[in-house]
Amino acid sequence: MDKDTASDPAIQTQALTRRFGTLTAVDGLTLQVPAGSIYGFLGPNGSGKSTTIRMLCGLLTPSGGDATVLGIDVRRDPEAVKRNIGYMTQKFSLYTDLTVLENLKFMAEIYGMEKSAAQERIAVLLQRFALESMTAQLAGTLSGGQRQRLALASATLHKPALLFLDEPTSAVDPESRREFWEFLFEMVDDGTTMLVSTHFMDEAERCHALAILDEGRLVADGTPEQLMSELPAAVVEIQSAAAGTRAVREALLAAADIFDVAQLGSRLHALVDPARSQPIAYVESLLQPTGIEAELSVVAPNLEDVFVMATLHKKTEQAA
Amino acid sequence: MNGFSLRRTAAIARKEFRHLRRDRLTAGMIAGIPIVLTVLFGFAINTDVRGLKAAVVDQANTSASRALVSDARASQVIGSLVSANSPWEIERLIRRGEVSLGIYIPADFDARVAQNRRPFAQLLIDDSDPQILRTARGLENLPLQPFDQMRDGGTFAIRALFNPERRSAVFIVPGLTGVILSLTMVLFTATAIVRERERGNLELLITTPVSPLELMVGKIVPYVLIGYVQISLILLLGAWLFDLPVRGSLVDFYIASGFYIVSVLTMGLWISTAATNQFQAMQMTFVFFLPQLLLSGFMFPFDGMPRAAQWLAEVFPLTHFLRIVRGIVLKQAELTMLMADIWPLALFFAVMMTLATRRFRKSLD
Ligand SMILES: Nc1ncnc2c1ncn2[C@@H]1O[C@H](COP(=O)(O)OP(=O)(O)O)[C@@H](O)[C@H]1O
Ligand SMILES: [Mg+2]
């Protein structure tokens, strides 16, 4: 999809910062989310994804910096932001002791929707999210996937132009995850902008653009293709029965020109300093002392490699 | 801003009703607490002191002294008599708890009466129990007054105006409506917002356009109705079990109760905005409840308390409501006569509602 550079970005932040006491949960975040796209926040637990989303929703006051959401300054008018966005919290936050229909009706009333308009909209959403057969079921008795569809239906009731989804798929099975992303793509086709946080690489790869967060800092951003093609490292894939062993990892990590090592099932990706003109030969020389038989090849970087590279400080921590 | 929306307020109220309907424990408490407390207080707490055991030492043993003993007995305060030989024996019996009272009639009793030399006789009282002390004090003058003075009412005779049988249930049950509500109402709303916070619903709720005032009003509406249900239940139980009369106008009573109900509900709301979890909210509820129970005039007579305690008690809704409820139910007072106790309730409500609404932030800061 071509990005519409003519329209204003849906979200714009400038050195956005949030501190909790001495902890800086979000540290000088500057980014732009183009309208009409799915933007991903990729980062490990505690990297500040939820805190950033909460600031952008007008729920947390920034300790420093600025953010504009749909053209509204979140510091100056958080209530105006709230009226114009939809927010799907990380933890299920609808009422477990109300039924599916009661929850949706309640939210429609809270958003001040007309009764007939609300009924129509609810009927459409129930059908779209395959919840028609469980309208009278208590939300607390729904499965993970059903709950998540209900939460999404509720967040989109009032047709917000911008939707925040905080780790929407962390509690659902792979089948439901795929289905969920189909809903997101349908909505983006209708012109909705979405900011989705995740720690799944395959989900991050589906985003039009993404930001990688680590310890509150933006460590990389761009389209997934950009991030992968511009990775400042050569990726050597090591295929071996012994690839997962500690000895191999340690041998590689100890070397000066290996940035980090990423594990992908039975394979290992070694991120080699691009200054080495012969990365395969280099890795081979490192594996020699361990006596391990391995098949080596240079492969195109994937998002996991990008992520490992972006959160590089992990290597120094492990080595220390 | 987008003003105050009745629709949104109604949505919150409807939602609270649904929670209540599905929360068996709370629903059970609505009827359970009034029933249990009314029965307990009405039957078990008996401040009528009757049928005390007394010891008598009659050293005069004349017809006049025997008449005195039988008069004392006729008052029903004394249930059974044992005779003793000396005042010291009476003291011993009281100390051992075998009797609560002793009557000592000295040998020169007839002469004392003839010369009007008081006291004619001595009453020994187990005053380790204040209830016995108070009751026995009533005996002090009773049979010893010269009869002519009794008849023309020159000396004051006690006449009970509102509760001639002096049944404690009649005093206790109307006040109990206030005590029970100051516990249940506060408890219900004190946990109302904290619970949403604990269950994670609040993060979603404060991202919607709902305003703090809509939320607060919506949260108390269902409980106003529940407050009325509880009051009615207690009065019905009182009428059924203890023949409690309602002498004043029921309409007046329900109007005045409304002021009390909303004032204790908003107290709970304020707690709910201040507490960080449900346990803390419950602790705060009791911190608020106990001084009211002790100082409102429910447990001890208001006039007997020190000045400072009285001033403090004037802040409590229960103090005012007790005067209102006793006024209407027992003394047939009209609403207009009770304004002095209604406006403090209205003021308390307004102040608490303002504090709770301003304290509640639509933010996670
Ligand atoms: N309300 C809070 N008070 C104190 N620390 C917080 C609070 N919310 C988040 N944090 C801390 O801020 C950091 C970032 O948290 P969060 O934004 O939830 O990360 P993520 O959503 O990426 O897992 C964590 O270290 C977390 O413990
Ligand atoms: Mg999070």
B70-120 pLDDT, tens digit per residue, is 777 776 777 788 888 888 888 888 777 788 878 888 888 888 777 777 677
Higher pLDDT, B134 or A41: A41
- What CA–CA distance (Å, rounded) separates B326 from B344? 17
- What CA–CA distance (Å, rounded) separates A145 from B258? 46
Q: What is the mean pLDDT of residues A44-69?
A: 96
Indicate if the pLDDT at residue A117 is higher than 60.
yes
Q: Which residues of A touch B15 (CB under 8 A)?
A: 95, 98, 102, 106
pLDDT value of residue B316: 95
List, in order, residues 6 or more apart from B345 with CB less than 8 Å away. Answer: B259, B260, B263, B317, B320, B321
- What CA–CA distance (Å, rounded) separates A233 from A220? 14
Interchain proximity A82–B208, CB inside 8 Å: yes
pLDDT category of residue B171 using cuts at 50, 70 and 90? confident
The model's pLDDT over A177-208, given as tens digits with 9 standing for 90+, comes to: 999 999 999 999 999 999 999 988 999 999 99
Give the mean pLDDT of chain A: 90
Nearest Cα of chain A lies from the Cα of B195 at a distance, in angstroms, of 11
pLDDT value of residue A319: 45
pLDDT value of residue A320: 41
Indicate if the pLDDT at residue A115 is higher than 80.
yes
The DSSP symbol for A9 reads P
pLDDT value of residue A139: 97
| Measured CA distances, B46 to A92, A182, B2, B50, B167 (Å) | 52, 72, 56, 10, 8
For CA atoms B205, B209, B212, B217, give the dihedral sign.
negative
pLDDT value of residue B138: 65
Nearest Cα of chain A lies from the Cα of B196 at a distance, in angstroms, of 9
pLDDT value of residue B167: 57
Residue entry with tokens 């400072």:
B308
Q: Please tell me if residue B23 touches chain A, with a CB cutoff of 8 Å.
A: yes
Interchain proximity A54–B10, CB inside 8 Å: no
pLDDT value of residue B124: 78
Domains and their CATH numbers in chain A:
9-222 (3.40.50.300), 232-300 (3.30.70.100)
Q: How many helical (H) and strand (E) elements, i.e. helices and strands, does chain A have?
A: 12, 14
In 3D, which of A182, A185, A181 has the Cα closest to residue A200? A181
Q: Is the CB of residue B66 less than 8 Å from the CB of residue B115?
A: no
CA atoms within 13 A on the CB side of A311: 20
Indicate if the pLDDT at residue A138 is higher than 80.
yes
Helix (H, G, I), strand (E, B) or coil at A110: helix
Q: Is the CB of residue A239 less than 8 Å from the CB of residue A287?
A: no
pLDDT value of residue B197: 92
Report CA B266 to chain centroid distance, whole Å. 21
- Which amino acid residue places its CA nearest to atom 8 of ligand 1? A51
For CA atoms B341, B342, B344, B348, give the dihedral sign.
positive
Indicate if the pLDDT at residue B210 is higher than 90.
yes
Q: What count of other Cβ atoms lies within 10 Å of the Cβ of residue B356? A: 27
pLDDT value of residue B148: 34
Q: Which helix (H) or strand (E) holds B13?
A: helix B6-22
In 3D, which of A203, A183, A69, A194 has the Cα closest to residue A128? A183
pLDDT value of residue B51: 73
Q: Please tell me if residue B204 touches chain A, with a CB cutoff of 8 Å.
A: yes
Indicate if the pLDDT at residue B158 is higher than 50.
no
- What CA–CA distance (Å, rounded) separates A294 from A241? 8
pLDDT value of residue B159: 38
Q: What is the mean pLDDT of residues B181-197?
A: 92
The domain locations on chain B are: 52-160, 168-359
Q: Which residues of B touch A83 (CB under 8 A)?
A: 2, 209
Indicate if the pLDDT at residue A240 is higher than 60.
yes
Indicate if the pLDDT at residue A86 is higher than 80.
yes
Indicate if the pLDDT at residue A314 is higher than 70.
no
Among the residue ranges B133-137, B245-249, B266-270, the one predicted with the least confidence is B133-137
For CA atoms A313, A200, A249, A278, give the dihedral sign.
negative
- Which amino acid residue places its CA nearest to atom 9 of ligand 1? A51
Ligand 1 atom nearest B364 alpha carbon:
1
Across the interface, which of B199, B200, B364 has its CB nearest the CB of A59?
B364
pLDDT value of residue A82: 96
Shortest CA distance from B204: residue in chain A? A93
- What CA–CA distance (Å, rounded) separates B16 from B12? 6
For residue A266, which phi and psi values (nearest 5 degrees)? Answer: -90, 5
Helix (H, G, I), strand (E, B) or coil at A11: strand
Helix (H, G, I), strand (E, B) or coil at B140: coil
Indicate if the pLDDT at residue B53 is higher than 60.
yes
Q: Is the CB of residue A48 less than 8 Å from the CB of residue A215?
A: yes
Q: Which residues of A touch B10 (CB under 8 A)?
A: 109
Indicate if the pLDDT at residue B18 is higher than 70.
yes
pLDDT value of residue A239: 87
Q: Which residues of A touch B11 (CB under 8 A)?
A: 106, 109-110
Across the interface, which of B7, B11, B200 has its CB nearest the CB of A89?
B200
Among the residue ranges A137-146, B124-133, B162-171, the one predicted with the least confidence is B162-171
pLDDT value of residue B154: 27
Indicate if the pLDDT at residue B164 is higher than 60.
no
pLDDT category of residue B140 using cuts at 50, 70 and 90? low
- What CA–CA distance (Å, rounded) separates A48 from A219? 12
For residue A40, which phi and psi values (nearest 5 degrees)? Answer: -105, 145
pLDDT value of residue B153: 29
Go through B16-50 and write b for each residue having 16 or more CB atoms within 10 A of its CB, e for each that does not. Answer: bebbbebeeebeebbeebbeebbeebbeeeeeebe
pLDDT value of residue B121: 77
In 3D, which of A159, A57, A98 has the Cα closest to residue B203? A57
- What CA–CA distance (Å, rounded) separates B29 from B191? 14
pLDDT value of residue A11: 97
pLDDT value of residue B344: 97
Indicate if the pLDDT at residue B157 is higher than 60.
no
Residues with CB under 6 A from ligand 1: A 20, 23, 25, 43, 45-51
pLDDT category of residue B19 using cuts at 50, 70 and 90? very high
Interchain proximity A60–B206, CB inside 8 Å: no
Q: Which of A100, A109, A113 to mutate to test the interface with B (most CBs of B within 10 A)?
A: A109
Indicate if the pLDDT at residue B277 is higher than 50.
yes
| Ligand of minimum distance to the alpha carbon of A18 | 1
Angle of the A246-253 helix axis to the A279-287 helix axis, nearest 10: 120
CA atoms within 13 A on the CB side of A245: 13
Q: Which pTM was predicted?
A: 0.82
Among the residue ranges B133-147, B148-162, B332-346, the one predicted with the least confidence is B148-162
- What CA–CA distance (Å, rounded) separates A112 from A109? 5
| Measured CA distances, A21 to A25, A49, A56 (Å) | 10, 18, 20
pLDDT value of residue A244: 64
Q: Which residues of A touch B7 (CB under 8 A)?
A: 109, 112
pLDDT category of residue B313 using cuts at 50, 70 and 90? very high
Q: Is residue A136 classed exposed, middle or buried when 0-12, 13-18 and 19+ CB atoms within 10 A define those classes?
A: exposed
Class at the top of the CATH hierarchy for domain B52-160 = alpha beta
Among the residue ranges A208-222, B242-256, B258-272, the one predicted with the least confidence is B242-256
Give the mean pLDDT of chain B: 84
> Which of A50, A198, A218 has most ligand 1 atoms within 8 Å of its beta carbon, as the pocket-test mutant?
A50
Amino acid at residue number A5: T
Among the residue ranges A22-26, A305-309, B17-21, B150-154, the one predicted with the least confidence is B150-154
Helix, strand, coil percent values for chain B (each to nearest 5) = 65, 5, 25
A86 torsion bin: left (phi>0), alpha (psi -120 to 50), beta (else):
beta
CA triplet A129, A133, A137: central angle to 5 degrees? 100
pLDDT category of residue A76 using cuts at 50, 70 and 90? very high
Across the interface, which of B12, B14, B206 has its CB nearest the CB of A59?
B206
pLDDT category of residue A31 using cuts at 50, 70 and 90? very high
- What CA–CA distance (Å, rounded) separates A221 from A226? 9
